[in-house]
């Protein structure tokens, strides 16, 4: 396993300052594509570069801006960029302005599509992802298994106390799910219920004959952390019994490294393709003035994943900021 000094030298952290809920995707063209929540929560940006280090200074394109009022007009959160069947898709959450505290916790999920170069082509709204309930929903991610595409997302069930649970459903196209939707996990452990009862921000990694599904839990301050579910790759992901949930968090605050509230991760690979990487945000201080949601200093960070002998990922601890 790499020592902390080696982890620090592998990638310069933060990778991109003031970008939360980061998503880094390495495409077949060898380039890295990046998107994340911006502090203003008012737009969706993408950028690309030949290396992860160059993402900080890469040219940025705004592909979509929030509406002035009504639907899609407030709190634009956690975009993800996917390439599916020759087209590009952005999954994100948006709220209505003027509703429930200026849109807070009134989110629904939406999809954008581009059938050409994502840095220059037209992005088209494909509409809202319709689920079983008209309720707070966010953080959609998608993966394919044995020729079937699935969506995993966070949503509030009106009959379950708490903010959000994780659900899975099959997809009929990249912006439409099929019912039934099935709950995979809800906040139940102490570390998932600090401040808010939250399971959100799912991310999928397929390795070593298994599917690993990470997610974020608790409030977005220093209590924010990652949990994980795992299932055999040949199992039915729609069956909750296929999944095993860790009773303890797998990635969290490290005060000795001045890294607080790491979470809302994604996965990518190193430039040479040999190393799996975890992408996440964290702050480098604990005390926050006001609502943590509006503190802009959740920075994008990257570090290598180590693998245990049993084939499970070992995320270790978030490494300290690099010296510039």
DSSP 120-183: TSPPEEEEE---SSSS-EEEEEEEEETTEEEEEEEE--TTSSSSBEEEEEEEEETTEE-SPPEE
**238 domain residue, yes or no:** yes
Alpha carbons within 13 A on the beta-carbon side of 53: 8
If you write DSSP's letter for every residue of 220-276 in order, what string do you get?
SSTT-EEEEEEEETTS-TT-GGG-EE-SS-SB--BGGGTBEEEEEEEEEE-TTS--E
169 located within any domain: yes
Indicate whether 320 belongs to any domain: no
Where residue 255 sits, what CATH number does that domain have? 2.115.10.20
Q: Is 295 a catalytic residue?
A: no
Q: Does 228 map to a domain?
A: yes
Nearest 5°: phi and psi at 293?
-60, -30
Beta bridge partner(s), residue 23: 35
What are the tens digits of pLDDT across the range 166-224?
Answer: 999 999 999 999 999 999 999 999 999 999 999 999 999 999 999 999 999 999 999 99
Split into its structural domains, the chain has a count of 1
Three-state DSSP at 5 gives helix
Tell me the residue range of the domain where 120 lies: 4-314
Q: What is the pLDDT along the chain (324 residues), one digit of tens a residue?
A: 444 455 555 799 999 999 999 999 999 999 999 999 999 999 999 999 999 999 999 999 999 999 999 999 999 999 999 999 999 999 999 999 765 445 677 999 999 999 999 999 999 999 999 999 999 999 999 999 999 999 999 999 999 999 999 999 999 999 999 999 999 999 999 999 999 999 999 999 999 999 999 999 999 999 999 999 999 999 999 999 999 999 999 999 999 999 999 999 999 999 999 999 999 999 999 999 999 989 999 999 999 999 999 999 999 999 999 976
Decide if 236 is catalytic: no
Both tokens of 10, joined, read 């592998």
Residue 321, in any domain of the structure: no
List the catalytic residue out of 80, 139, 200, 295. 200
Which of 258, 202, 244, 205 has its CA nearest to residue 226? 202
Q: The tokens of 320 are what?
A: 């300290």
């Amino acid at each position: 396993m790499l020592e902390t000094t080696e982890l620090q030298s592998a990638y310069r952290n933060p990778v991109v300052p003031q970008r939360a809920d980061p998503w880094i995707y390495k495409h077949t063209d060898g380039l890295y594509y990046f998107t994340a929540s911006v502090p203003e929560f008012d737009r969706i940006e993408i950028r690309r570069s030949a290396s992860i280090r160059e993402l900080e200074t890469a040219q940025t394109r705004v592909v979509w801006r929030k509406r002035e009022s009504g639907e899609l007009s407030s709190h634009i959160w956690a975009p993800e960029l996917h390439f599916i069947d020759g087209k590009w898709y952005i999954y994100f959450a948006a709220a209505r302005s003027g509703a429930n505290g200026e849109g807070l916790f009134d989110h629904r999920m939406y999809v954008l599509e581009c059938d050409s170069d994502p840095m220059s082509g037209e992005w088209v709204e494909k509409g809202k992802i319709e689920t079983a309930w008209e309720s707070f929903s966010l953080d959609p991610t998608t993966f394919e298994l044995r020729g079937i595409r699935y969506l995993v997302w966070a949503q509030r069930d009106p009959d379950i106390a708490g903010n959000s649970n994780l659900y899975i459903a099959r997809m009929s196209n990249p912006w439409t799910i099929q019912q039934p939707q099935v709950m995979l996990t809800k906040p139940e452990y102490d570390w998932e219920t600090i401040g808010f009862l939250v399971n959100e921000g799912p991310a999928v990694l397929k390795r070593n004959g298994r599917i690993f599904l990470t997610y974020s839990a608790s409030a977005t301050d220093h209590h924010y952390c990652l949990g994980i579910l795992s299932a055999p790759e040949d199992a039915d992901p729609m069956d909750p019994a296929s999944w095993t949930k860790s009773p303890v968090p797998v990635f969290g605050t490290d005060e000795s490294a001045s890294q607080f509230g790491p979470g809302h991760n994604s996965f990518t690979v190193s430039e040479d393709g040999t190393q799996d990487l975890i992408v996440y945000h964290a702050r480098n201080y604990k005390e926050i003035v006001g609502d943590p949601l509006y503190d802009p200093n959740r920075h994008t960070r990257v570090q290598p994943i180590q693998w245990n002998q049993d084939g499970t990922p070992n995320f270790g601890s978030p490494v300290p900021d690099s010296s510039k």
